[in-house]
Amino acid sequence: MIRKTAFVSFFMLISFSLFSQEVEVLDEIVVTATKTERKVLEVPARVELLPAYMLKTHNIFMVDDILSQVSGVNVSRTDGVYSKKSTVSVRGMGSDQGRTLILTDGIPLNKLSTGSVNWNMINPYTVSSIEVVKGPGSSLYGGNAMGGTVNIITRSPEQGVHGYATFDYGTYNTLTGNAGMTVRKGSVYGGINGMYRQGNGFNPYPKELQNEETIAAGVEEYQAGGYIGWDIDRNNNVQVNLSRYDGTRGTGDRIFYEDSIIDATGRYRDNEIRFRYKGKSGASNWEVAAFYLGEEMNETKYKSKQLYDVVADRKDWGVWLNYGYNINGKVRLMSGLEYKGGLVDGRDIYRTSTDMVINRGKSKTFAGFVQAEIDPFGGKLTFLPSLRYDLSRFYDAAYEILLPTSATSSLVQFTSGELADQAKWQGAFSPKLAMQYGIARHTRIYASMSSGWRPGSLEDMCRFGIKKTGFIVANPNLSPERIYTYELGGDVEITMGLSLSASGYYSDGHDFIYSVSTGRKFMDGKKEKDELKVSNIAGVEIYGGEVNAVYSNFLLTGLDVFANYTYTHASIKEYSKTQETDEDLTGKFLTCTPRHQVASGASLRNRYFHASITYRYTGSQYMTDNNSTQEEDMIVAHGLVDIRAGYTFRNWVTLSAGVNNLTNKVFLTSSDQVGMGRFLYTKLEFRF
């Protein structure tokens, strides 16, 4: 199957595949890998730069859609715009978003409460480019950057007044409107943007499970944002960004309770504030930044004849100062100090009784880092050592039940108002040493050793509750996860327009956080479920590699083709059993981590016309820790084809149409739910 898929992908590459990625991208400036401005191939790491025109020529409804075409990246958005959440994982980090750091203009979007990111709140029309840095980035960014870092760079407005308005209509009566405007007059600038979407959705349950209690899961959401900035002078800039998101998504469940009919939904309301001041004088440069990210979540649940609302307030904030100094252009020094904090205040509010279950917790981290970029021979031989120290603490945590009844009697054994009283400060050094040798323009080899770390999420340490997999027991005494990665890679320009790159890595992980069996059972009403405790498993082994080929202006000017292949081996190397009845997970593969991935495609674009086609193959994935091969426990291997074409009239009106999942592949995405299948749409866009 793999050989057949690879052959199909290669054939598509040669014949008509597409992906807009020009070799000139290699000369573009990136900032994520070093926190300084460097060309892509000047950084001794594997960095992928996705420019804005890729978002215009492909079927992109959410920003993370484009990341599914990047080697070494696995994206879980199988329900398109109807996905309640999406997970972007780099280099075998599985289904936990907390192990891959997501930034917007260098400011984190991962929540300390869960590690998750609300991808739905990011308006793709505000994006200028996306930088993907593969491998641990904890030496600069601390927690979450274990597998890699994704930095979403937003647009800077041009002089004058500019704007856009778009309207999409697609399958399931999905209607989307998006509009924005930017203004720049001299040194002062600003912009506003907004998006609204509604759709009927589809029934996410397999046909054999559909009944009167399963319905289409619809969506209604809006996003609004804005920013204002001032170029104080040529070298100093200050900017403030604001964003608001409010989205309601159906779960596909219809609840019949007494005389009421309730269609279960989840509602997420996010607020973001970002401040940044950047300055430069002579050989010195600096940055002061601060952010606040708040989310209010509400979901309706019905289990064991108990109806309740899961409510959670999640807040994250932080501030940091970075300072850099350039010594004769041969040595660049960068250092920084940082503080981040976060909290979760969760409540299960029962409608069928007086019970209110409370879980809460807080976290704070202090950190400092130092980095040197040493370039003694004008780019021929480059060294990049860096070191960061993080000091983190979990505190003010509790799991309590107010006015308990028989509905929560089985939970009382876990209650405590002092969950974090025994929690200690946890510190970690995160070193990195990288070097590269430049052979010629666009040709180089590099090697690196880097370390990543991540403390447990707040909900891992303070939330007890029932999930599909079992009853989860929180663990306030979790140790931080650690990973050590060794990487070797290189790039070569074969001819003008054709470039090849390859990277191989080996990662040794320790204390990865998993929900493991305690050997006991938990009664969920009349149903017996496994009791699972959030624990550190001893050792994880991840290794693999990526191969990329890009050909720009192939056959025709404006035609770019690409193909890549990713191999990932992610397994539990050593497992510490908590009970004699535990199943030994040693040698088992990590869940939601495909071993093989292929992506290929191309785009043709000129002043009036654009078209694209992409093919993505994702190998089979286990959904259970014991690697069960039962049909309901596997995400089967699948290949998806997307196409799009559009035409621009008079330089300001564009009409386009496209299809996602052209061949209508439908497969299980969890034990009892399936993906969306084929999605058709048409788009009308105005620009001025």
The pLDDT of residue 518 is 77
- 462-507 tens-digit pLDDT: 999 877 667 889 999 999 999 999 999 999 988 877 899 999 999 9
Q: What is the mean pLDDT of residues 543-569?
A: 88
Could you tell me if residue 133 is left (phi over 0), alpha (psi between -120 and 50 degrees) or otherwise beta?
beta
Q: What is the mean pLDDT of residues 137-146?
A: 94
- Assign 54 a pLDDT band (cuts: 50, 70, 90): confident
Please say if the pLDDT value at position 528 is more than 70. yes
The CA-atom distances, in angstroms, between 115 and each of 108, 109, 248, 286, 456 are: 11, 9, 21, 28, 9
Q: Six-digit token pair at 335?
A: 């250092």
The pLDDT of residue 260 is 87
Kind plus residue range of the DSSP H or E element containing 138: helix 138-141
Q: Six-digit token pair at 194?
A: 């907004």
Q: What is the mean pLDDT of residues 99-116?
A: 95
What mean pLDDT is reported for the chain? 90
The CA-atom distances, in angstroms, between 208 and each of 214, 310, 674 are: 11, 29, 12
Most distant CA pair in the chain, distance: 78
Q: What is the mean pLDDT of residues 381-402?
A: 96
Which is it for strands 100-104 and 148-154: parallel, antiparallel or unpaired? parallel
The answer to whether 549 and 601 have CB atoms below 8 angstroms apart is no
Residue among 279, 295, 161, 154 nearest 226 (CA) = 154
Q: Nearest 5°: CA angle at 628, between 622 and 632?
A: 75
What 8-state DSSP symbol labels residue 67?
G
Residue among 221, 75, 173 nearest 680 (CA) = 173
Q: Phi/psi of residue 80, each to 5°?
A: 55, -135
Q: Six-digit token pair at 677?
A: 């299948």
What 8-state DSSP symbol labels residue 643?
E
The pLDDT of residue 405 is 92
The pLDDT of residue 55 is 78
Residue among 597, 685, 602 nearest 643 (CA) = 602
Q: Which amino acid is at 444?
A: R
Q: What is the mean pLDDT of residues 654-672?
A: 93
Q: What is the mean pLDDT of residues 576-583?
A: 63
The answer to whether 85 and 119 have CB atoms below 8 angstroms apart is yes
Residue among 130, 129, 149 nearest 139 (CA) = 149
Q: Which amino acid is at 207?
A: K
Please say if the pLDDT value at position 122 is more than 60. yes
Kind plus residue range of the DSSP H or E element containing 30: strand 29-30
Please say if the pLDDT value at position 5 is more than 60. no
Domain for residue 686, yes or no? no
Percent of the chain with pLDDT over 90: 72
The answer to whether 350 and 356 have CB atoms below 8 angstroms apart is yes
- 619-652 tens-digit pLDDT: 999 998 889 999 889 999 999 999 999 999 988 9
- Assign 128 a pLDDT band (cuts: 50, 70, 90): very high
Helix (H, G, I), strand (E, B) or coil at 68: helix
Please say if the pLDDT value at position 24 is more than 60. no
Q: What is the CATH number of the domain that holds 156?
A: 2.40.170.20
- 182-225 tens-digit pLDDT: 999 999 999 999 999 999 999 999 999 999 999 999 999 999 99
- 429-472 tens-digit pLDDT: 999 999 999 998 889 999 999 999 999 999 999 999 877 667 88
- Residues contacting 83, CB < 8 A, separation 6+: 76, 77, 120
- Residues contacting 545, CB < 8 A, separation 6+: 502, 503, 504, 505, 566, 567
Q: Six-digit token pair at 628?
A: 């069960």
Q: How many CB atoms lie within 10 A of CB 311?
A: 16
- Assign 4 a pLDDT band (cuts: 50, 70, 90): very low
Domain count, the chain: 1
Domain for residue 544, yes or no? yes
Q: What is the mean pLDDT of residues 552-567?
A: 84
Residue among 357, 298, 343, 291 nearest 459 (CA) = 343
- 222-274 tens-digit pLDDT: 999 999 999 999 999 999 999 999 999 999 999 998 888 999 999 999 999 99
The answer to whether 330 and 376 have CB atoms below 8 angstroms apart is yes
Please say if the pLDDT value at position 297 is more than 90. yes
Q: How far apart are CA 678 and CA 264, in angstroms?
A: 25
Domain for residue 651, yes or no? no
Please say if the pLDDT value at position 19 is more than 60. no
Domain for residue 661, yes or no? no
- Residues contacting 404, CB < 8 A, separation 6+: 355, 411, 412
Going 72 to 78 to 83 to 85, the CA torsion angle's sign is negative
- 302-322 tens-digit pLDDT: 887 889 999 999 999 999 999
pLDDT top residue among 441 and 130: 130
558-562, 618-622, 653-657: range with lowest mean pLDDT: 558-562
Q: What is the mean pLDDT of residues 117-129?
A: 93
DSSP assignment string, 257-309: ETTEEEEEEEEEEEEEEEEEEEEEETTEEEEEEEEEEEEEEEEEEEETTEEEE
Q: Which amino acid is at 661?
A: N
The pLDDT of residue 581 is 55
Q: 271 lies in which domain range?
A: 2-644
Please say if the pLDDT value at position 25 is more than 70. no
Domain for residue 94, yes or no? yes
Question: At which residue do the structure tokens 């929690």 appear?
Answer: 423
Percent of the chain with pLDDT over 70: 94
Q: What is the mean pLDDT of residues 650-666?
A: 94
Domain for residue 238, yes or no? yes
Q: Phi/psi of residue 274, each to 5°?
A: -130, 140
The pLDDT of residue 377 is 87
Q: What is the mean pLDDT of residues 107-134?
A: 94
Domain for residue 320, yes or no? yes
Domain for residue 289, yes or no? yes
**Contacts of the segment 56-60: beta carbons below 8 A, 24+ positions apart:** 56/610, 57/20, 57/603, 57/605, 57/610, 57/611, 57/612, 57/644, 58/19, 58/20, 58/603, 58/612, 58/614, 58/642, 58/644, 59/612, 59/642, 59/643, 59/644, 59/658, 59/659, 59/660, 59/681, 60/124
